[in-house]
């Protein structure tokens, strides 16, 4: 296989909704273009994209729109893991057909306490049904949300059985010991991404590939800078600066907070919209957040305005 695998920073791009809560594909495409200009890849349809509040048809439409709008599919790593095997296969197949560089795949997440054998069969069946050698799967381990962890023995079995397809993992466990254990394995060209830039420096020092983090929606250039300069003398200071910014945001519900920041700096108020069961920030929460960010001299230059 000569497929290129991802490295660096990828952003689980927040999804814009019109006031009737329909996805706004063109605004998403404009946001993706801006993120690419900030050296971020595009992990669309992630947790922070409210991907699981979108139907499969809505995701297929958005993916088509992104490619139609000229977004380079090689920079796209859409989330395609659904509860239903047939949904995951449908979405993954389209991503491959469109030339996406990879997919980020949740395990089926409704049934809990399922066996490694059952999860293995799920991934194996998906790979078999998609049936395309171009498929590059990045596993998505996010037990605080999915409540369905991917264990090391399961991951190892998948890597050994499908070395050309299982390309890496996003570890959003928040548990550095787990990320470290994955990094220690050093499977051939298996890419380990931390799920928060708070772990970026230790991830790079241990041979990791980069990070896929919510905060990339608002702070991509600085996160990429640390990725590109992790061996620089000031790397630790850069890490601290990233953490300080993240701390301002993550005291609030993350997705509404990120959308409020994008809305403020773009002037496009519909960015504030979220689908239930999420709730937008209150005015007070929003004002407090923007004031805090302004106090740090934070800005998002070049962010696209509304159409």
Q: What residues make contact with its own copies under the rule CB under 8 A? A: 21, 47, 52-56, 58, 83-87, 90, 107-112, 114-115, 117-119, 121-122, 125, 144-148, 275-279
Stated as kind and residue range, the H or E segment containing 40 is strand 40-42
Q: Minimum distance between the CB of residue 182 and its own copies, rounded to whole angstroms?
A: 21
Q: Is 3 or 122 the residue whose CB approaches its own copies more closely?
A: 122
Return d(Cα 198, Cα 267) in angstroms, integer.
28
Q: Is 276 or 301 the residue whose CB approaches its own copies more closely?
A: 276
Parallel, antiparallel or unpaired: strands 8-11 and 40-42 = parallel
- Decide: helix, strand or coil at residue 205: helix
Q: Is 135 or 148 the residue whose CB approaches its own copies more closely?
A: 148
Parallel, antiparallel or unpaired: strands 166-171 and 137-141 = parallel
> Which two structure tokens, joined as six digits, stand for 149?
């962890």
Q: Minimum distance between the CB of residue 119 and its own copies, rounded to whole angstroms?
A: 5
Q: Minimum distance between the CB of residue 52 and its own copies, rounded to whole angstroms?
A: 4
Q: Is 110 or 236 the residue whose CB approaches its own copies more closely?
A: 110
Q: Minimum distance between the CB of residue 267 and its own copies, rounded to whole angstroms?
A: 26
Paired with 17 in beta bridges are 23
Closest by Cα among 216, 14, 47, 44 to 145: 47
Q: Is 122 or 250 the residue whose CB approaches its own copies more closely?
A: 122
Q: Minimum distance between the CB of residue 198 and its own copies, rounded to whole angstroms?
A: 20
Angle at 118 between CA 114 and CA 120, to 5 degrees: 125
């Amino acid at each position: 296989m000569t497929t290129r695998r991802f490295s660096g920073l990828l952003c689980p791009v927040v999804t814009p909704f019109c006031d009737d809560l329909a996805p706004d594909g063109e605004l998403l495409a404009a946001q993706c273009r801006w993120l690419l200009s900030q050296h971020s890849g595009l992990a669309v349809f992630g947790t922070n994209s409210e991907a699981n509040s979108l139907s499969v048809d809505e995701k297929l439409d958005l993916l088509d729109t992104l490619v139609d709008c000229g977004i380079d599919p090689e920079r796209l790593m859409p989330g395609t893991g659904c509860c239903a095997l047939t949904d995951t296969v449908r979405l993954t197949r389209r991503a491959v057909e469109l030339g996406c560089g990879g997919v980020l795949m949740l395990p089926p997440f409704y049934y809990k306490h399922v066996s490694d054998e059952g999860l293995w069969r799920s991934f194996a069946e998906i790979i078999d049904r998609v049936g395309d050698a171009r498929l590059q799967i990045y596993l998505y381990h996010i037990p605080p949300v999915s409540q369905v962890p991917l264990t090391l023995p399961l991951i190892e079995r998948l890597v050994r059985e499908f070395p050309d397809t299982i390309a890496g993992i996003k570890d959003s466990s928040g548990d550095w010991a787990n990320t470290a254990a994955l990094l220690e394995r050093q499977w051939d060209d298996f890419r380990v991404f931390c799920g928060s830039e708070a772990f970026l420096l230790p991830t790079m020092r241990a041979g990791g590939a980069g990070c896929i983090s919510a905060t990339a929606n608002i702070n991509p250039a600085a996160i990429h800078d640390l990725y590109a300069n992790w061996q620089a003398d000031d790397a630790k200071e850069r890490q601290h600066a990233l953490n300080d910014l993240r701390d301002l945001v993550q005291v609030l519900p993350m997705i509404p907070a990120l959308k409020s920041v994008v809305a403020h700096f773009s002037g496009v108020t519909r960015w504030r919209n979220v689908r239930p069961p999420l709730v937008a920030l209150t005015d007070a929460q929003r004002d407090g957040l923007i004031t805090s960010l302004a106090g740090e001299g934070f800005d998002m230059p070049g962010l696209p305005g509304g159409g």
